[in-house]
Chains A and B, each alone.
Chain A
Amino acid sequence: MSNWIPLWVHKLGSPPTFYRFAGIVMPWMMALALLSGALGLYGGLVLAPADYQQGDAYRIIFIHVPCAWMSMFIYAVMGVSSVIALVWRIKLAEVVAMESAPIGAAFTFITLVTGSLWGKPMWGTWWTWDARLTSELVLLFLYLGVIGLYHAFEDRRQGARAAAFLAIIGIINVPIVHFSVDWWNTLHQGSTVKLFGPSKIAWAMLWPLLTMTLATKFYYIASLFRRVRTDLLALEGGKDWVREIARGEDDR
């Protein structure tokens, strides 16, 4: 069964293999994140022309928009690995789901803060009960709920399974919340960048934005791998492979 999945994917699901794999990949991802982040910020803050209407204030989108995309992307990752964790009971999927939550919450928080910093000069207010802002706030609370539930259990694996279930309920609810607040009140501008069809944004502004998006993705992977490695060590504390690592640390 499932012969089309190469063997190394299955192997990656085992904690020791993933621990080594993540250890090799993580520094590269961090380097890529720093590089593309520096490039994207230079392109966005220095090279890109000022907006004819918003002046230089629009430049916050180079942080705001990638973070907003990440806040949703990470929730999707969390939801998918939660399903995997609950259906196949793979320990690694539980760890990935639970360690994604704090990173996602951080990105959501940055999105809200940068958005309100931009909103003050542009809309004349720090906060407004607009649909997108509200659903982003709800997303933050969903993240916090998952984190809170995870830590409320004494047994970590049980907590992870319960919180994974909550994440799945949340993923069903996110479109409903988004749609209902959309219907309720809208002020935020529509999407400018489209995956299909022409985007309504100049190339000089688009490439730094996309570079920043890549940078946040790389950062997420690096940060996630680091967290997962730490968590795996804690979770598998009594196993042989962890003992070997500990012995290696002692010898150094």
Chain B
Amino acid sequence: MSHAGTSTACAAMLRRDLTLAWRRRGDITMPVLYALIVTMLFPFALGPEDTLLQRIAGGVVLVTVLLAMLLALDAMFSSDIEDGSLEQLVIAPQPLALMLGMKILAHWITTALPLIVITPLLAGMLHLPTAVMPVLLLALLLATPLLSLLGAVLVALTAGTRRSGMLLALMLLPLCVPAVIFAAGAVAAAQQGLPWLAPLAWLGSALALAMVLAPLACAAALRIALDA
């Protein structure tokens, strides 16, 4: 019996997940709507002064995107666990880490990318200066994959449990403190006209590290959570 090559399997995995997400387009828009609504609440809560909103805009957008991603994270493996395709993936001859990497990539494309696309709108609602916008987008481009990767490991760990929503938040939020600090640091530095490359470089290095390690950790976590 011959197995499909690794790259073929990867492509199939990615295509499958993207198709599934596309069939349920409503789910993709949920995090986006959530982010819009949360951002809209801040001016109501803090008052509509331009200067105040400008000062907090970068941080608010970052945290909102983070929370919106957290909401969508729970669903990363849930349908696959229900119909048993995750177990098939675990016993498949192809390396599990790579397959999971593809799933994480698909998840990032379907949840984080739409959020990044509407980020200019979110930032505009809070009067973030246009000059800072590229830095914010760059920071999000580096920080969101990091969150997806970290989150995937934790979602895999909770795969065998029933109530995982709040637990996931409790586990993920402490771990993503560095990502928030560096992303917000870059935006704040850009806003004050300071050099902003260093924090972004740290984010990039963390992302490189996570991209290699997180799929492996995710595979190990899934094996732990599924062997009952």
Q: Closest approach, in angstroms, between the C-beta of B154 and any C-beta of chain A?
A: 7
Contact A152:B161 (CB < 8 A) given known A162-B221, A169-B217, A180-B181: yes
Instruction: Give chain A's interface residues, CB within 8 Å of chain B.
Output: 86, 134, 138, 141-142, 144-145, 148-149, 152-153, 155, 158, 161-162, 165-166, 169-170, 173, 176-177, 180-181, 183-184
B43 at the A interface (CB under 8 A): no
Report the bound CA distance from A19 to B117 in whole Å: 59
Q: Closest approach, in angstroms, between the C-beta of B57 and any C-beta of chain A?
A: 19
A162 touches B167 (CB 8 A): no
Q: Closest approach, in angstroms, between the C-beta of A67 and any C-beta of chain B?
A: 20
Contact A149:B171 (CB < 8 A) given known A158-B160, A158-B224, A180-B182: yes
B177 touches A162 (CB 8 A): no
Q: What are 29 pairs between A and B in contact, CB < 8 Å?
A: A138-B177, A141-B170, A142-B174, A142-B175, A145-B167, A149-B158, A149-B161, A149-B167, A152-B164, A153-B160, A153-B161, A155-B228, A158-B228, A162-B160, A165-B157, A166-B157, A169-B153, A169-B217, A173-B174, A176-B206, A180-B177, A180-B181, A180-B182, A180-B202, A181-B177, A181-B181, A183-B181, A183-B185, A184-B181
In-complex Cβ contact of A166 among B154, B177, B227 (8 A): B154
A138 touches B163 (CB 8 A): no
Instruction: Give chain B's interface residues, CB within 8 Å of chain A.
Output: 153-154, 157-158, 160-164, 167, 170-171, 173-175, 177-178, 181-182, 185, 202, 206, 217, 220-221, 224-225, 227-228
Hey, which chain A residues are within 8 Å of B171, CB to CB?
145, 148-149, 166
A145 touches B181 (CB 8 A): no
Q: Closest approach, in angstroms, between the C-beta of B8 and any C-beta of chain A?
A: 31
Hey, which chain B residues are within 8 Å of A166, CB to CB?
154, 157, 171
A162 touches B224 (CB 8 A): yes
Report the bound CA distance from A129 to B173 in whole Å: 17
A184 touches B160 (CB 8 A): no
Report the bound CA distance from A17 to B142 in whole Å: 51
Hey, which chain B residues are within 8 Å of A142, CB to CB?
174-175
Contact A161:B224 (CB < 8 A) given known A153-B160, A169-B153: yes
Hey, which chain A residues are within 8 Å of B227, CB to CB?
158
Hey, which chain A residues are within 8 Å of B217, CB to CB?
165, 169
Hey, which chain B residues are within 8 Å of A177, CB to CB?
174, 177-178
For A134, A162, A176, the residue with the greatest tally of chain B CB atoms inside 10 Å of its CB is: A162
Known: A138-B177, A180-B178, A180-B181. 17 other contacts (CB 8 A): A134-B177, A141-B174, A142-B174, A145-B167, A158-B224, A158-B225, A158-B228, A161-B224, A162-B157, A165-B224, A166-B157, A169-B153, A177-B174, A177-B177, A180-B202, A181-B177, A184-B181
Hey, which chain B residues are within 8 Å of A138, CB to CB?
174, 177
Hey, which chain B residues are within 8 Å of A184, CB to CB?
181, 185
A165 touches B220 (CB 8 A): yes
Hey, which chain B residues are within 8 Å of A165, CB to CB?
157, 217, 220-221, 224
A152 touches B158 (CB 8 A): yes
Q: Closest approach, in angstroms, between the C-beta of B200 and any C-beta of chain A?
A: 14
Report the bound CA distance from A161 to B171 in whole Å: 15
Report the bound CA distance from A166 to B173 in whole Å: 13
Q: Closest approach, in angstroms, between the C-beta of B209 and any C-beta of chain A?
A: 9
Hey, which chain B residues are within 8 Å of A173, CB to CB?
174-175, 178
Report the bound CA distance from A181 to B182 in whole Å: 10
Hey, which chain B residues are within 8 Å of A141, CB to CB?
170, 173-174
Report the bound CA distance from A141 to B168 in whole Å: 12
Report the bound CA distance from A180 to B181 in whole Å: 7
In-complex Cβ contact of B174 among A145, A161, A180 (8 A): A145
Q: Closest approach, in angstroms, between the C-beta of A226 and any C-beta of chain B?
A: 27
Report the bound CA distance from A50 to B71 in whole Å: 52
Q: Which 5 A-B pairs have the closest CB atoms?
A: A180-B178, A145-B171, A141-B174, A152-B161, A138-B174
Q: Closest approach, in angstroms, between the C-beta of A231 and any C-beta of chain B?
A: 19
Report the bound CA distance from A177 to B175 in whole Å: 8
Hey, which chain B residues are within 8 Å of A161, CB to CB?
224
B175 touches A170 (CB 8 A): yes
Hey, which chain B residues are within 8 Å of A181, CB to CB?
177, 181
Closest to B164 in A: A152
